[in-house]
Amino acid sequence: MYPDPSSVTRVTSIGAGPIGGGWAAHFLARGYDVTAYLHNESETPAFRAILDTAWVSLTELGLAEGASRDRLRIVTDLEQALEGEQFVQESAPERLEIKQALYKRMGDILPPSVVIGSSTSGLTMTEIQTSCATPERTVIGHPFNPPYLLPLVEIVGGDDTAPEAVAWAGAFYRIAGKAPLLMKKEIPGFVATRLQEALWREALHMVANGEATPDDIDIALMNGPAPRMVSQGQCMAFHVACGAGGMATNLDQFGPALKLPWARLEAPELTTELRDRMVDGCNAIAGERHFEDMAAQRGREIVAVLNAVRQSREG
Amino acid sequence: MYPDPSSVTRVTSIGAGPIGGGWAAHFLARGYDVTAYLHNESETPAFRAILDTAWVSLTELGLAEGASRDRLRIVTDLEQALEGEQFVQESAPERLEIKQALYKRMGDILPPSVVIGSSTSGLTMTEIQTSCATPERTVIGHPFNPPYLLPLVEIVGGDDTAPEAVAWAGAFYRIAGKAPLLMKKEIPGFVATRLQEALWREALHMVANGEATPDDIDIALMNGPAPRMVSQGQCMAFHVACGAGGMATNLDQFGPALKLPWARLEAPELTTELRDRMVDGCNAIAGERHFEDMAAQRGREIVAVLNAVRQSREG
């Protein structure tokens, strides 16, 4: 029912803000014909400014063959904006009644084979799709700011979304140059923001208690976990740091430390089931790779990151 | 009383594990004469292997003039290890009685003008220094793993540490190529690990509840917050994302969202005092820089990071 995701050449980006503008810039840079739907003609200059800023970075990242800002069309009529389009990225204001009205109209205008992805960060698709007559193809495709730079897109459907639409979105975003994450459940904050939010709340507690200043927080993150986290997420960082024993050693040896007050967030009970999920998950990511090879790759990537940032700062 | 930190040319690194070995490698790469104290001769091959691995990365990062592995001396006698040295980095096993005994001996052997920095991640200097006759110059200098790659060193004294020794350590580590963070208080987990630990605990909760797999967690971090966090910590990321309004806009507009269940860690009450600390702190970091310039710099740095990692992976 859904088209081959690699056959998509035309997409619509809805919204004139930094997210809508960022998405439009990203799709243009990946070589798509892009229709931008703005609510009002007066939004055009600000929208173009976002695009121009993004284009500088996108050019340095490398444009797809044939990519051009000339392939952008800006319209303020929704029917015109959706005519003949093959995918829609919706970044309308974060108000439920606005989104619901929009999905009702889009649901009637667009053929049901066209998937609609929402950039919403605070609403669920189950709420958004309630008035839509064709909710099966509506999914959340939540970017990480700035959307034209950071690859992550978190994908999840609502109660009435078809699993095929979620799978299609994952395949499409990957083809479109993104790093898709197919979520298991609709949860507040998705995955990345939820993790970041736990960290942010701990940071606020530390500042409130005079344990650190905002400067301390940022020095710690930029010079500590961040360069490594570009190369390895927190799970594989612990897995590889524990050598041949991997995540099993980490949990069996340091599990008791989860009871220590090393953060204000209490850890879950380290059940056998949780232990096994972590261990099996890390082993699956590692696959056939030896931990020493992964450590060496981590080393190369951290060096590349540190050198790149230093060179960028030195101009 | 303490020497000019830029006059230091000889340092001792105590400990044969990845932390002690990593420190020895770092100081050699920065052009110091390094004495490594190992508990036992038999630890030498493993210690040298750590050094060899680290040296590959350190060479790619750029060695200081005159840096050479030939400037390493390995000894197993503590008095010999400390003879004529100007700074000591202690990375002995993480057991309080071992550290206490070691600081008692070092306190008697070393002139009181020689600062001792401990790599401990789980003990406090107040505990460690109890049996040391000259505790004023003992500080914690906690690295982030791997210590030869990640710049962060968290510095804090114990109850009997002189503030001058803490300040001296900050100046010395900076000269030695590290990013020092002078902590306000002795707290479990210091700053970076505490923030990381809040994130890790949220991750464990998500895996325990079937909301995400370890793979999901890592995809989210590596492609979402991490590349940006190399360029800006969480405070400045929010400050710059809110444009001219900065952190004030972030807290005044999104403060109520701190009540939402976006993470299992509850946020502190957003008092006027906390708000002002965050706002003033971010304004101080920004200084005279315009938010658009900081956003542009962030863009350049994220691009540099993404390109560097991609090129490193493509070999």
**Could you check whether the bond before residue B45 is cis, i.e. omega within 30 degrees of 0?**
no
Under an 8 A CB cutoff, do B263 and A265 touch?
yes
Q: Percent of chain A having pLDDT more than 90?
A: 95
Q: What average pLDDT is seen over chain A?
A: 96
**pLDDT beyond 90 at A1:** no
Under an 8 A CB cutoff, do A184 and B227 touch?
no
CB atoms within 10 A of CB B313: 12
Nearest residue of A to residue B144, measured between CA atoms: A224
Residue among B208, B300, B305 minimizing CB distance to A305: B305
Segment A190-212, tens digit of pLDDT: 999 999 999 999 999 999 999 99
| A284 contacts on B by Cβ (under 8 Å) | 214-215
The complex scores an ipTM of 0.96
| A185 contacts on B by Cβ (under 8 Å) | 210-211
**Nearest chain A CA: its distance from B211 CA (Å):** 6
**pLDDT beyond 90 at A135:** yes
pLDDT band at B214 (very low <50, low <70, confident <90, very high): very high
Angle at B220 between CA B216 and CA B224, to 5 degrees: 170
Fold annotation for B5-182: Rossmann fold (3.40.50)
Q: What pLDDT shows up at residue A250?
A: 93
**Nearest chain A CA: its distance from B13 CA (Å):** 21
Segment A207-232, tens digit of pLDDT: 999 999 999 999 999 999 999 999 99
| A151 contacts on B by Cβ (under 8 Å) | 223, 306
Q: Distances from the Cα of A208 to the Cαs of B268, B274, B282, in angstroms?
A: 7, 5, 15
Under an 8 A CB cutoff, do B149 and A207 touch?
no
Segment B3-37, tens digit of pLDDT: 999 999 999 999 999 999 999 999 999 999 999 99
Segment B141-166, tens digit of pLDDT: 999 999 999 999 999 999 999 999 99
Q: Which of A53, A190, A204 to mutate to test the interface with B (most CBs of B within 10 A)?
A: A204
pLDDT band at A243 (very low <50, low <70, confident <90, very high): confident
Average pLDDT over residues A266-292: 94
Nearest residue of B to residue A144, measured between CA atoms: B224
Q: What pLDDT shows up at residue B243?
A: 87
Residue among A192, A247, A311 minimizing CB distance to B221: A192
**pLDDT beyond 80 at B47:** yes
Q: Which of A201, A253, A271, A314 to mutate to test the interface with B (most CBs of B within 10 A)?
A: A201
Q: Percent of chain A having pLDDT more than 70?
A: 100
DSSP assignment of B206-243? HHHTTS--HHHHHHHHHHTHHHHHHHS-HHHHHHHHTG
Q: Which of A154, A187, A216, A238 to mutate to test the interface with B (most CBs of B within 10 A)?
A: A216
User: What single DSSP character describes residue B77?
Assistant: -
Map out the domains of chain B as residue ranges: 5-182, 224-314
How many residue pairs bridge chain A and chain B with CB atoms within 8 Å of each other?
393
Q: Single out the residue of B24, B28, B32, B26 nearest to residue B6, CA to CA.
A: B32
DSSP assignment of A217-272? HHHHHHHTHHHHHHHS-HHHHHHHHTGGGHHHHHHHHHGGGGGS-SSSSPPPP--H
Q: Single out the residue of A258, A155, A213 nearest to residue B200, CA to CA.
A: A258
Q: What pLDDT shows up at residue A31?
A: 98
Q: What pLDDT shows up at residue A269?
A: 93
Tokens of A312: 């960028």
B34 - beta bridge partners? B11, B72
Q: What pLDDT shows up at residue B174?
A: 98
**Nearest chain A CA: its distance from B137 CA (Å):** 22
Q: What pLDDT shows up at residue B153?
A: 98
SS3 A292: helix
Q: Which of B148, B149, B154, B197 to mutate to test the interface with A (most CBs of A within 10 A)?
A: B197
Q: What pLDDT shows up at residue A103?
A: 98
Q: Single out the residue of A255, A248, A257 nearest to residue A291, CA to CA.
A: A248
Average pLDDT over residues A124-148: 97
Q: Distances from the Cα of B252 to the Cαs of A207, B14, B256, B258, in angstroms?
A: 17, 49, 8, 11
Residue among B229, B238, B274 minimizing CB distance to A222: B229
Nearest residue of B to residue A202, measured between CA atoms: B195
**Nearest chain A CA: its distance from B249 CA (Å):** 16
**Nearest chain A CA: its distance from B80 CA (Å):** 32
Tokens of B309: 């990692």
Residue among B184, B233, B263 minimizing CB distance to A211: B184
Under an 8 A CB cutoff, do A214 and B277 touch?
yes
Under an 8 A CB cutoff, do B210 and A184 touch?
yes
Q: Which of B120, B173, B183, B235 to mutate to test the interface with A (most CBs of A within 10 A)?
A: B235
Q: What pLDDT shows up at residue B315?
A: 76
Under an 8 A CB cutoff, do A274 and B200 touch?
no
**Nearest chain A CA: its distance from B175 CA (Å):** 16
CA atoms within 13 A on the CB side of B5: 17
pLDDT band at A142 (very low <50, low <70, confident <90, very high): very high
Nearest residue of A to residue B193, measured between CA atoms: A262
Segment B256-300, tens digit of pLDDT: 889 998 999 999 999 999 999 999 999 999 999 998 899 999 999
Under an 8 A CB cutoff, do B202 and A206 touch?
no
Under an 8 A CB cutoff, do B187 and A211 touch?
yes
Segment A88-121, tens digit of pLDDT: 999 999 999 999 999 999 999 999 999 999 999 9
**Nearest chain A CA: its distance from B78 CA (Å):** 29
Under an 8 A CB cutoff, do A235 and B226 touch?
no
Residue among A150, A188, A300 minimizing CB distance to B228: A150
Tokens of B193: 């690990």
pLDDT band at B1 (very low <50, low <70, confident <90, very high): confident
